[in-house]
Structure 1
Amino acid sequence: MKVLLDENITPKVIIYLKRLGHDVESIQSYGLQGISDKEVLELAVREERILITQNGKDFIIQVPPRENAMHHNGLIWLKFHVTKANAEILSVKMNHFFAIESSLRNSIWRVKVNLGIFYFQKRYPSPPKELSL
């Protein structure tokens, strides 16, 4: 998968996802720290990358189902803080998720963790779906 990490995701995730065979870039790797959320989304769309962020609420207002919204390659909203300590397990879970969901085009997923279980909840489009990994 082609992935763009927002600047609020530790760069350690790049290392682990690349080891798992994914094409990963980040706002930091492009040297674009501090750009607006709109510019982050435009970059993800232009590069045909899935956007992974911790501040999904700032992005969902720009993508479907909003009228005149920007179409995208997928938005994954992490509802927990990504640290160096949990970057590897997150990457493994993301790899499993990508193997199950081969196309994320215009979909929005929220990811929560509870007692070590990662819950991938499809928020858009319908029908709702949840994967526990």
Structure 2
Amino acid sequence: MEKLYTAAEIVEMHLPGLPATKRAIQLRADKEHWHYETRVGLGGIRKVYEVPEAYLPNYVPLVDRPMPDNAKTSAERVAESAGKAGMKIDTERLAKALQVLDSYLDEKGIAITASRKSEIAVVLYNYLETHGTQEEVAQLLKLVA
């Protein structure tokens, strides 16, 4: 059974990789095509969202599940590109790279396309693989801004 939350409830969860404002949650949900239902209540009509598994604690990404192209996450796009190149993906490292990138983009209020985000995630993933830590990636993003 799916659990649905308002944007305000999602903000209160303080989930890593998700923005800290109601409006930013709504924009992220629209951009990433989150499942939602429309509910009618005392305050009028509102959307309640199902938080994607990738943002929930203890989630291990499954990159091999088939999805329509328009619903693919950045992690899935990166994994797909790597798979075509014959690379093995460390899903934990990829999740860290995407988490840092999402935090940076939210902090700066920057919106980018999914394909651009995937390209940046590949660079960050490769940097994490060869050079350093999640904190160093965050520092790198601040330097190039």
Q: Report the TM-score, using the length of structure 2 for normalisation.
A: 0.33
**Looking at CA atoms only, which structure, 1 or 2, has the larger radius of gyration?**
2
User: Which is strand-richer, 1 or 2?
Assistant: 1
Which is helix-richer, 1 or 2? 2
